[in-house]
């Protein structure tokens, strides 16, 4: 559905889901997304204009596991309360991808439950395990779990019924030996092993080359064009598939209308994490104290020329989506005169996020970002161009959000 | 012994980790920060710097707050130099807050919850620590003296949590300590030193 088997060079998570979902037949996709089972996500407005996501998911039967009711669960038919990470035990799915280097050692951890779940809520993994039992698909479910590096003799057997902790235990014994089960990790926390010299200073030991002239991209484009013609697929922009990397202006660099005079970019500070943390009262308190987090950062001299000062309420309109957002100005010397920066993660509106969804708690940058097949995206990698031109207008102080 | 702290402004990245760790250690109410951070810009575009300044009680050797306290609730401990508040003797007049040149003291007139009706956080009863959010008295940082940390030989929460290792805690009376060495080598300075309060918190310049 994300077209990544069509454009095989795409390394980014496909932004095209909400577009192809709306018209899969156009791409000769022989099925339609009827149901979405999700947990720990808030994808409405996660990549671009939320209106596109809303259109794509409005008729999808959706089941969510969530700690909070957010913008995505507003589209869910069933919401099951999830436990928070401190109430959950789990393993890192990615192995060895999540083996972390610490000094001269490698380390791998186990997420331990540190407090009992509140309000009788249960972590999604335990609920799914029970659902598999009730549906009579234990065998299939265990087979799927066994794909996460379970090895004999610790592979899950369909004739036995395991608790979630027992499954974690078997997975860790599979990875690190029979003696390194869940009790060992509870006692020791992290398993460590030495890093070899060639693992720390790996570059001299690798005989690879970083190619500058990628001729294969031309061949990939030819193959994609052939697939398009043979299957009657819509023509996509293949001009990006050129062997020599080159700069090309994005839509914001080609905007000619004078009133759209600011490049709007996205930024983030270390104390927030994507769209997860603004509901946390301590983080929210920090964001309110910090000059930049909930405000629209603009060069002080540019603001002065526009007759704006710190704290002024403004409406910012995207040249590409024509959506508008409202926020307060923060004048700064730390930004280019032609640029405005928006901190990511803010601008919630879900009623289930009572802390984050209050007025002036940041702006959702994605309202300003368009999504299309022919521009605003690098077709080789599927990465969206997160830069857009915008225009500002001052609002009266009493203007509501 | 004189407990003190050194904060390296060159290392501080402004993550607010100290402020958050302090919250988690003492469960202070909304708007009350025994440890906090202020961020200010220095210079003009394009030559501009972002200055992160972590703040807490300076545990002054000559604390103005002690001088003005009418009940003697605020006092400086002779054995380690920490300025403490006896909450059962504090009458909440807030004279100390007016006197403190560092804005390090807070007063909570009424109970305020992060989640209304659920206390500072709903899971606090599962922990041994109880909220420090006492009502009607002044409160502030005491280098985590009020917790079990010092008994366990642990450093204050803000020091332990600092991911940039920008904070050092120790004995300022020990000339061999890391604190004294850093203050000497890096030209450590005190905030508002001209007031004669002689803070026990020193800062290392960000250059």
How does pLDDT run across B28-75, given as a tens digit for each residue?
A: 888 999 999 999 999 999 999 999 999 999 999 999 999 999 999 999
The enclosing H or E element of A38 equals strand A35-39
What is chain B's length?
207
Whether A334 and chain B come into contact, CB under 8 Å, resolves to: yes
| pLDDT one-digit tens code per residue, A342-396 | 998 899 999 999 999 998 999 999 999 998 887 788 889 988 888 899 999 999 8
CB–CB of B48 and A334 under 8 A? yes
**Residue whose structure tokens are 């991209």:** A217
pLDDT at B141: 96
Whether A100 and chain B come into contact, CB under 8 Å, resolves to: no
Asked whether the predicted pLDDT for residue B121 surpasses 80, the reply is no
Whether B196 and chain A come into contact, CB under 8 Å, resolves to: no
CB–CB of A281 and B16 under 8 A? no
pLDDT at A374: 74
Residue A283: strand, helix, or coil: helix
Residue A213: strand, helix, or coil: coil
Q: Quote ipTM for the complex.
A: 0.91
| pLDDT one-digit tens code per residue, A3-52 | 988 899 988 778 889 999 999 999 999 999 999 999 988 999 888 899 99
Nearest C-alpha neighbor of A42 from the set A364, A281, A290: A364
CB–CB of B126 and A116 under 8 A? yes
> How do strand A78-81 and strand A61-66 relate by DSSP bridges?
parallel
Whether B48 and chain A come into contact, CB under 8 Å, resolves to: yes
φ, ψ at A194 (rounded to 5°)? -65, 150
**Residue whose structure tokens are 């035990």:** A89
Q: Assign A401 a pLDDT band (cuts: 50, 70, 90).
A: very low
CB–CB of A334 and B30 under 8 A? no
Lowest mean pLDDT among A139-143, A216-220, B3-7, B119-123: B119-123
CB–CB of A334 and B41 under 8 A? yes
Shortest CA gap B20–chain A (Å)? 7
Nearest C-alpha neighbor of A314 from the set A297, A332, A290: A297
pLDDT at B128: 47
- pTM, 2 dp: 0.88
| pLDDT one-digit tens code per residue, B76-99 | 999 999 999 999 999 999 999 999
Q: Which ranges in A281-364 belong to alpha helices (H)?
A: 281-289, 300-305
What is d(CA A277, CA A271) in angstroms, rounded to the nearest whole number?
Answer: 9
**Residue whose structure tokens are 């069509």:** A6
- The dihedral region occupied by A47, where left means phi > 0, alpha psi between -120 and 50, and beta the remainder, is alpha
Tokens of A386: 């997160």
CB–CB of B41 and A333 under 8 A? yes
Q: Assign B127 a pLDDT band (cuts: 50, 70, 90).
A: very low
Asked whether the predicted pLDDT for residue B133 surpasses 60, the reply is no
Shortest CA gap B19–chain A (Å)? 9
φ, ψ at B30 (rounded to 5°)? -55, 135
Residues of B in contact with A118 (CB under 8 A): 122-123
Task: Report yes or no: A225 and A238 within 8 Å, Cβ to Cβ.
Answer: yes
Whole-Å CA distances, B46 to A268, A296, A332, A341, B12: 20, 19, 11, 16, 22
pLDDT average, residue stretch A142-156: 95
Lowest mean pLDDT among A119-128, A261-270, B106-115: B106-115
Residue B163: closest C-alpha in chain A: A270
Whether A338 and chain B come into contact, CB under 8 Å, resolves to: no
Task: Report yes or no: A13 and A332 within 8 Å, Cβ to Cβ.
Answer: no
Asked whether the predicted pLDDT for residue A399 surpasses 60, the reply is no
Tokens of A338: 């032609």
């Amino acid at each position: 559905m994300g077209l990544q088997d069509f454009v095989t060079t795409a390394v980014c998570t496909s932004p095209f889901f909400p577009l192809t979902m709306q018209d899969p037949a156009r791409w000769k996709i022989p099925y339609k997304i009827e149901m979405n089972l999700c947990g720990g996500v808030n994808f409405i407005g996660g990549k671009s204009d939320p209106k596109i996501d809303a259109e794509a998911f409005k008729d999808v039967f959706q089941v969510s596991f969530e700690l909070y009711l957010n913008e995505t669960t507003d589209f869910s038919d069933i919401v099951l309360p999830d436990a928070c990470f401190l109430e959950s035990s789990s393993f890192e799915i990615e192995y060895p991808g999540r083996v972390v280097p610490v000094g001269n050692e490698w380390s791998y951890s186990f997420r331990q439950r540190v407090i009992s779940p509140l309000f009788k809520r249960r972590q999604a993994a335990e609920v799914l395990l029970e659902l598999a039992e009730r549906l009579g698909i234990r065998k299939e479910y265990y087979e799927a779990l066994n794909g996460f590096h379970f090895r004999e003799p610790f592979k899950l057997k369909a004739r036995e019924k395991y608790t979630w902790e027992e499954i974690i235990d078997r997975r860790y014994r599979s990875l690190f030996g029979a003696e390194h089960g869940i009790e060992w990790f509870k006692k020791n926390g992290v398993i460590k092993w030495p890093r070899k010299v060639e693992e720390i200073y790996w570059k001299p030991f690798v005989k690879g080359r970083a190619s500058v002239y990628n001729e294969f991209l031309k061949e990939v484009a030819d193959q994609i064009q052939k697939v398009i013609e043979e299957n009657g697929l819509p023509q996509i922009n293949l001009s990006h598939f050129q062997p020599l990397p080159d700069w090309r202006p994005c839509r914001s660099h080609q905007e000619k209308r004078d009133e759209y005079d600011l490049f709007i970019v996205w930024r983030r500070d270390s104390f927030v994490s994507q769209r997860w943390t603004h509901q946390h009262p301590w983080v929210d308190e920090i964001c309110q104290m910090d000059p930049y987090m909930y405000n629209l950062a603009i060069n002080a001299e540019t603001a002065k020329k526009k007759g704006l000062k710190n704290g002024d309420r403004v409406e910012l309109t995207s040249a590409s989506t024509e959506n508008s957002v409202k926020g307060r100005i923060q004048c700064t010397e730390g930004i280019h005169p032609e640029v405005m920066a928006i901190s990511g993660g803010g601008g919630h509106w879900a009623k289930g996020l009572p802390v984050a969804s209050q007025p002036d708690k940041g702006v959702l940058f994605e309202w300003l970002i368009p999504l299309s097949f022919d521009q605003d995206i690098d077709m080789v990698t599927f990465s969206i161009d997160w830069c857009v031109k915008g225009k500002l207008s001052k609002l009266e102080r009493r203007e509501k959000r | 012994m004189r407990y003190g702290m050194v904060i390296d402004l060159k290392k501080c990245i402004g993550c607010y980790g100290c402020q958050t760790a302090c919250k988690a250690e003492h469960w202070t109410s909304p708007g009350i920060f025994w440890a906090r951070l202020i961020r200010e810009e220095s210079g003009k575009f394009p030559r501009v710097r972002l200055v992160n300044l972590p703040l807490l009680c300076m545990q002054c050797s000559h604390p103005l707050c002690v001088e003005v306290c009418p009940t003697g609730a605020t006092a400086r401990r002779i054995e380690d130099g920490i300025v403490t508040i006896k909450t059962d003797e504090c009458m909440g007049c807030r004279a100390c807050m007016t006197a403190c040149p560092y804005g390090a003291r807070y007063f909570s007139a009424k109970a305020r919850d992060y989640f209304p009706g659920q206390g500072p956080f709903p899971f606090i009863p599962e922990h041994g620590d109880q909220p420090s959010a006492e009502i009607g008295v002044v409160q502030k940082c005491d280098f985590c003296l009020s917790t079990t940390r010092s008994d366990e030989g642990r450093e204050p929460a803000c020091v332990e949590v600092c991911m940039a290792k920008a904070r050092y805690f120790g004995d300022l009376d020990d000339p061999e300590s890391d604190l004294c060495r850093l203050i000497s080598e890096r030209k450590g300075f005190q905030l508002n030193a001209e007031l004669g309060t002689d803070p026990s918190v020193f800062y290392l310049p960000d250059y």
